[in-house]
Amino acid sequence: MSARRTVCLLLALVSLQGCTYEEVVYRRPMFAGLPGVESGGALISDKPKGYRDPSQIDAGKITIEHEDGSKVLLARSARHLMAHIYQTLKEDQRDLFTQQVLCDATRAEFRARGMDPGAAFDYLKEHEAQVAQLFARMPNGEYSPGVLLQPVGGKAYRLALPAKAVEGLPWRGFDMVWEGGRMETVGAAAGAEQVRVPTLEEAVAQTGSVSGAQAVIADAKARQPQQRFVQSGWKLRWFVPVE
């Protein structure tokens, strides 16, 4: 290789080392994604690659409707819970609110006082307009500007407006708790004694025949309380009054 060619090659390498190539794969300006908020430059990616927002529901559905007409309410965020509170009040769905929106602790407190937990729904139904007013001032739940979400003990979190934003409201926010998925007894059979289903061998020993054993097993299954799976999610503890 000639000296002249060697010098030219070295100069080319030095020139390339002085240049850098940058590819923007993630940039999210402050407040990007909030309704009505604009920022300079394009939003390249809403979230880093592989990120999964825990508040989002697959297919965007927070209510699952079954063929038999029953519903399952999903609440992965405070704003999901707000939507369920508002919707069950609007559509007068007392049982659905009591069973799937209200938390276990609040239902237990009503029962301890000799009251039907459904009375919680009745009270809020009477104050439906005030609930709507509160939610109108925090339209995006925990993502609303100025709204605070903080732990208040006992596994409860409080979503509340700042003091300057509560004028004319009876409440400044609400408390909620996360409840894990579990099986629970449905309806009037909630207090019924669990019925044990015998094994085939036990039933045959009791009845003396396979057909008789099958009838005993079928009867035991029929007398078992109906069970259903309760989805994990945020549940309403109660509303927080303005001090």
The pLDDT tens digits for 62-97 are: 998 888 888 889 999 999 999 999 999 999 999 999
- Average pLDDT of the segment spanning 41-54: 42
Question: Could you tell me where the beta strands, DSSP code E, fall in the chain?
Answer: 63-65, 71-73, 148-153, 156-160, 171-179, 182-185, 227-230, 233-241
Residue 22 belongs to some domain of the structure: no
Q: Which range (67-71, 127-131, 167-171, 213-217) has the least confidence? A: 67-71
State which amino acid sits at residue 69: G
Residue 30 belongs to some domain of the structure: no
- Average pLDDT of the segment spanning 5-21: 39
Residue 217 belongs to some domain of the structure: yes
Residue 42 belongs to some domain of the structure: no
User: Collapsing DSSP states into helix, strand and coil, what is residue 235?
Assistant: strand
Residue 1 belongs to some domain of the structure: no
Question: How does the average pLDDT of the chain come out, rounded?
Answer: 78
Residue 41 belongs to some domain of the structure: no
Q: What's the pLDDT tens digit per position in 161-172?
A: 999 999 999 999
Q: Which range (71-80, 84-93, 183-192, 198-207) has the least confidence? A: 183-192
Q: Report which of 43, 77, 48 is spatially closest to residue 60, judged by C-alpha positions.
A: 77
Task: Name the domain count of the chain.
Answer: 1
Residue 31 belongs to some domain of the structure: no
**Structural domain boundaries enclosing 232:** 57-180+196-241
